[in-house]
Amino acid sequence: MWDTVADFGAIIIADLVLSGDNALIIGMAAAGLAPELRKKAILYGMVVAAVLRIIFAVVATKLLGIPGLLFVGGVLLLWVCWHLYKDIRDHTDAQAEAALHEAEEGGYDGPPKRTLKQALIAITIADVSMSLDNVLAVAAIADGDTTKLVFGLGLAIVLMAFAATLIMNLLAKYPAISWLGLAVLLYVAFEMLYRGVTGCDTGIGTMFGFLSEAQCVPEGKGGGH
């Protein structure tokens, strides 16, 4: 029971931090637009991010079962952690809160700094990266549990659609949440790496011959089930 509670807690924290990052990019890209175009760009970014999360969730659950890809996923998640660490260190959340507020409320009314097309391209590229990060983290925590995966995916979409500004305010006021999210993601990344090396079915240890079948760890979270 406590394992399940811990997993749902980890999913919520990961969604908060990673959905916040997505809102950060969308807000900063939209802030440079003319006031009448900002809400269109923000809506576009949210819709694209939601669609990408659904697509990546379907793909990720299948791909993580392929030998070697769990290890690759762990490396990718470590890369996400490094960028998240730099964002926290540079207080990016505080800057993003202002940008998102500016984008939504129309605080900036000078000449547009970019065209709608430029903003949409920037948002799409960011959405691909951020959505993959989010789904990868949730899929790793869910570990094949469809209920947890659907919960994590649904929560991420709801948070971005209805609570983007609230999340940015929260992360800006309480940096400890971002640090906690980073700790959760690091734990998930290292667990993925461990299972990606030692797993009997998906580990690279048996693939490349430096682990025997007797030495490998049965599949399941932490190798315990």
DSSP 50-71: HHHHHHHHHHHHHHTTSTTHHH
The CA-based dihedral angle spanning residues 52, 184, 19, 152, taken in that order and rounded to the nearest 10 degrees: 60
User: Is residue 38 included in any domain, yes or no?
Assistant: yes
The structure tokens 């920037």 sit at 122
Which segments of the chain have a pLDDT < 70? Answer: 24, 28, 31-32, 91-114, 163-165, 168-169, 172, 202, 209-210, 212, 214-215, 219-225
Q: Read off the pTM.
A: 0.73
User: What integer pLDDT is reported at residue 107 of this predicted model?
Assistant: 47
Residue 98, pLDDT score? 60
Residue 201 lies in a domain: no
- What is the count of structural domains for the chain? 1
Q: Report pLDDT digits (tens) over 142-181.
A: 877 888 988 998 888 888 777 666 776 677 677 788 788 8
Domain assignment present for residue 20? The answer is yes
pLDDT at res. 224: 42
Residue 151's pLDDT is what? 92
Whose structure tokens read 């461990």? 194
φ/ψ of 114, rounded to 5, equals -155, 165
Q: How confident is the model at residue 225, as a pLDDT?
A: 38
State residue 141's pLDDT score. 86
In a domain? residue 46 = yes
Give domain status of residue 171, yes or no: yes
Q: What is the pLDDT of residue 103?
A: 54
Alpha helices by DSSP H, 32-163? 35-63, 69-89, 92-105, 116-142, 146-162
pLDDT at 222: 47
A 10 A CB-CB count for 134 gives: 28
Angle at 127 between CA 126 and CA 128, to 5 degrees: 90
Domain membership flag for residue 206: no
| Domain encompassing residue 66 | 2-195
